[in-house]
Amino acid sequence: MQIEYLRFSPADVEDLVGFLTGEEWPFHAGVQEAGAIRRRVAEGFYDDAETRTFWVLADGERAGLVRLYDLGDDTPMFDLRVRRAWRGRGLGTAALSWLTGHLFTELPGVTRIEGTTRADNRAMRAAFRKNGYAKEAHYRESWPAPDGTCHDAVGYAILRRDWACGSTTLPDWHDEPS
């Protein structure tokens, strides 16, 4: 599979609307509505001084989307989505590797990158581990689903120094006073 990353342009608004409304996103909160997406594009939600969005092209097809945000901070975050037809093929792992390298290479002030997912999103959690991210947080019943249930969420991060040397520094989980 050939993977490329193409910067989102506001002219892509209808493609973005089709992408976000044409799929179910089981591990993303909220319902995607066409009008709200168009409004967010106009307001710079997908591309402004603090945000960059990229299409993930797999064999020339728009198979995924990466939104990088909080770019003015030393700890940016991201939203990664892969179309159902492309899930299970390693595209999410490859996209996470790309965005990690992109952020650390393009933004020298970035010291760490954070990401959060639902605890039951096994594919994303595996992608984090494969890319050297360490689990740093577990938020109990913090991720609301459309059906009203709340799922646990987990937070992962990678440090620039770990990325540079290919290691993973784990947090001290035994730091509670006795």
Angle between helix axes 13-21 and 34-42 (nearest 10 degrees) is 140
Q: Alpha-carbon distance 24 to 148, whole Å?
A: 17
Residues with Cβ within 8 Å of residue 150, at least 6 apart in sequence:
141, 142, 143, 144
Q: What is the pLDDT of residue 139?
A: 97
Q: What is the pLDDT of residue 178?
A: 79
Under 8 Å between Cβ of 67 and 28: no
Residuewise pLDDT in 10s, the chain (178 residues)? 899 999 999 999 999 999 999 988 888 876 688 999 999 999 999 999 999 999 999 999 999 999 999 999 999 999 999 999 999 999 999 999 999 999 999 999 999 999 999 999 999 999 999 999 999 999 999 988 878 899 999 999 999 999 999 999 999 888 888 7
Q: How many CA atoms lie within 13 A of 48 on its CB side?
A: 11
**Is residue 94 within a helix (H) or strand (E), and if so which, with residue range?**
helix 91-106
Check whether domain 3-165 has CATH 3.40.50.300, yes or no: no
pTM equals 0.93
Structure tokens given for 61: 């097809």
Under 8 Å between Cβ of 124 and 92: yes
Q: What is the pLDDT of residue 30?
A: 65
Q: Alpha-carbon distance 99 to 90, whole Å?
A: 14
Closest CA to 100 of 91, 111, 89, 113: 113
Closest CA to 159 of 170, 149, 143, 174: 170
